[in-house]
Structure 1
Amino acid sequence: MITPPKGPELVAATPSAAGQPTSPRGPSTGSGPAADDAAVERVIAEVAAGRPVVVVDDHDREDEGDLIFAGAHSTTELMAFMIRHSSGVVCVPMLGEDLDRLALPAMVADNADPKGTAYAISVDAATEVSTGISAADRSRTVRALTDPGTTTTDLTRPGHVFPLRARPRGVLERRGHTEAAVDLARLAGQPPVGVIAELVNDDGTMTRGRQLTTFAEQHRLTMISIEQLAGYRWRHERLIEPVAVTNLPTAYGIFTAHAYRSLITGAEHVALVGGTVDVDTPVLTRVHSECLTGDAFGSLRCDCGPQLTDALATIAEQGGVLVYLRGQEGRGIGLAPKLQAYQLQESGRDTVDANLDLGLPADARSYDDAAQILRDLGVSAVRLITNNPAKQRGLERGGIDVTELIATGTFAGPDNINYLRTKRDRMGHRLADLDTHQPHHHRGAAS
């Protein structure tokens, strides 16, 4: 279950006519976690009050907007408004356990949808409907799907309403409107059933970009992105669990090792706390992605090993935290694919294009677990040891204040110079002195 986060009391206002909510709020125009949280909380309040909202997915996904409201609040007026401004295909995202209880299996045995949309068998309510297609009939069917007392005999198959199976962990597992609808219903204190339809323009084309903003403003609807909703959940829910704490003597000094497990992916991470740490001031911090070849084997293809040893030595000396994120080999693509990418680099591809040639992201990492770990340790502000601006953005997205960026050394050599140039030129890493530096001698462990 998703527990509604502590925050402003959600007061259920009297719903107005569909498409004419009493609140004049439009889409958020702010930026940053605080503005995102405020925008999401406005949307949660609207859903709790029985009003429709607009939710936009990622630009690199469908870049489309859905009209969404809670199934428990379905009315003929809301349904008519949704049908009028959408493709007319009305879907009802639900939890798998509820679909199983109602004996609603997948629409097809082998789902070939590239986005993984999990359609179940379409249904109509068995009573109090005519043909099943009218707004009143479809709203009645939605209420039947939402009612925990509904049984298999209360529905007929096939029908005019399309249930969807939402992933158990919501938008943290899949960035889809299906999961967003269920998450919003839960956060609003409603049964975990939503109603969604894709917004379309009058000419039948999909509503995108500025068109979505205009639509929301015209109908006085609140609007957020799935990315904002996911960030809100990361900041307001506990999604890692501590597993063990022990002393760890190393060649750099004695650290306190904290083991954590992600409740989303199951990945196990380690935080090493060295020296004296005052969590009331910004804490010296390094977030390090697992790199077996560099960290353990001393590979010269990257600069991961020297960055790790230098950070350990610095933190042991000055006090701070090193968060070691496992499962991020090869910028998150995995060990074997990373070695495949190395093969492509030997043929002249750079580290970015090699990943893309394999059909993989240039960088698949997330720093949400790192932010959760730091918060669990009582750290809210950091002086971050990194050249990578994505780490700064990732921690800030997770609610960690990055007060200072401390550059790592430039560990360049003949085997990794092109790799480092690509990180600088194509990934925005701060390596301004790369072409002018002298060889950097890092502080490794005593041999």
Structure 2
Amino acid sequence: MRADAEAALEGALDAFRAGGPVCIHDFVDREGETDLVYPARAVTPAAVSRMRNDAGGLICVAVSHRVAEAFELPFLADAIDHPAIDDDPAYDTRSSFSLPVNHRETFTGITDIDRARTITELGTAAAAVERDPEAYTAETFASEFRSPGHVHVLRGAEDLLADRTGHTELGLALAAAAGEPPAVVVCEMMDDETGTAVTPEDAAAYADRQGIPYVEGKTLVEALE
């Protein structure tokens, strides 16, 4: 691995261990987007505000395959019987979307405070599954979360980067390497002027101004697959 790529990876790992964000660009020939990614357990209302204002995409929580299985979370496209369902995105074979949820102790679920509560509780639940997969069930999940809600849950591929290289898997692979629970927040960075995704160059410049590590998906795949 090149020295600059190795430094980017180490910076990203250090940030995740400290509960901070990382900017991850996937691939030009995939979505071509950069996401702000946080370990779910560390997300605060201020972090949700940053994602709303600085990124602007959809705020989602990605969980590992094992966690999704313990929660008994379906893929959203499999759970809904409607003619509009067409899970064949141009960038991949299928999307990762599962249920949108709110924690049961939130109110509307959409405020920064409410979404931070839902996100951190998802991180706590994912950590509980890691400790004891048999102790957490769909009923446990339903006692803590309700759907529909305002935080979309994403299901990670079973073998992560060996199966799929979306932001879902890139973030989860980074969490695993950092020793974090298998739950991460991802939010796409949008460009107010063009109405499209922020370019990698602009995302890297933003990361530099904010003191946030910026890492390419290729670097993560090479180091963590």
Amino acid at match of 1:210: E
1:168 aligns with 2:161: no
Equivalent residue number for residue 60 of structure 1: 29
Equivalent residue number for residue 205 of structure 1: 196
Relative contact order, higher structure (CA 8 A, sep 6+): 2
Distance 2:196 2:102 in 1: 28
Distance 2:103 2:188 in 1: 23
1:86 aligns with 2:64: no
Please, which of 75, 88, 93 is the counterpart of residue 112 of structure 1? 88
Equivalent residue number for residue 3 of structure 2: 34
1:157 aligns with 2:134: no
Please, which of 137, 140, 144 is the counterpart of residue 117 of structure 2? 140
**Paired residues, what number?**
202
Partner of 1:168: helix, strand, or coil? Answer: coil
Equivalent residue number for residue 225 of structure 1: 216
Amino acid at match of 1:137: D
Partner of 1:160: helix, strand, or coil? Answer: strand
Distance 2:47 2:145 in 1: 21
- Structure with the largest fraction of helix: 2
Distance 1:54 1:94 in 2: 18
Q: Percent identity?
A: 28
Equivalent residue number for residue 126 of structure 1: 104
Cα displacement (A) at 1:34: 3.4
Aligned positions of 1:383-422 closer than 5 A: none
Cα displacement (A) at 1:97: 2.3
Partner of 1:122: helix, strand, or coil? Answer: strand
Cα displacement (A) at 1:86: 2.3
Distance 2:57 2:216 in 1: 22
Equivalent residue number for residue 41 of structure 2: 72
Partner of 2:180: helix, strand, or coil? Answer: coil
Distance 1:233 1:54 in 2: 17
Cα displacement (A) at 1:113: 2.4
Partner of 2:108: helix, strand, or coil? Answer: coil
Distance 1:160 1:104 in 2: 16
Cα displacement (A) at 1:98: 1.6
Partner of 2:149: helix, strand, or coil? Answer: strand
Per-residue Cα deviation, 1:307-366 (whole angstroms, up to 9, x for no partner): xxxxxxxxxxxxxxxxxxxxxxxxxxxxxxxxxxxxxxxxxxxxxxxxxxxxxxxxxxxx
Q: What TM-score, normalized to structure 2?
A: 0.84
Equivalent residue number for residue 71 of structure 2: 102
Equivalent residue number for residue 133 of structure 2: none
Amino acid at match of 1:172: A
Q: What runs of 5+ residues in structure 2 fail to find an aligned partner?
A: 79-85, 129-139
* Alignment CA distance shift 1:169-1:34 (3 Å): farther
Say which one has the larger Rg. Answer: 1
Distance 1:71 1:64 in 2: 20
Distance 2:19 2:173 in 1: 15
Equivalent residue number for residue 194 of structure 1: 184
Per-residue Cα deviation, 1:268-296 (whole angstroms, up to 9, x for no partner): xxxxxxxxxxxxxxxxxxxxxxxxxxxxx
Distance 1:176 1:159 in 2: 23
Cα displacement (A) at 1:213: 1.6
Amino acid at match of 1:232: A
Cα displacement (A) at 1:117: 2.2
Cα displacement (A) at 1:104: 2.2
Distance 2:184 2:88 in 1: 24
Cα displacement (A) at 1:165: 0.7
Amino acid at match of 1:208: T
Q: What is the aligned-residue RMSD (CA, Å)? A: 1.6
Distance 2:98 2:177 in 1: 24
Aligned positions of 1:259-274 closer than 5 A: none
Distance 2:66 2:224 in 1: 22
Cα displacement (A) at 1:88: 4.0
Cα displacement (A) at 1:169: 2.1
Q: What runs of 5+ residues in structure 1 fail to find an aligned partner?
A: 1-31, 235-447
Distance 2:220 2:57 in 1: 25
Partner of 1:227: helix, strand, or coil? Answer: helix
Distance 1:151 1:62 in 2: 31
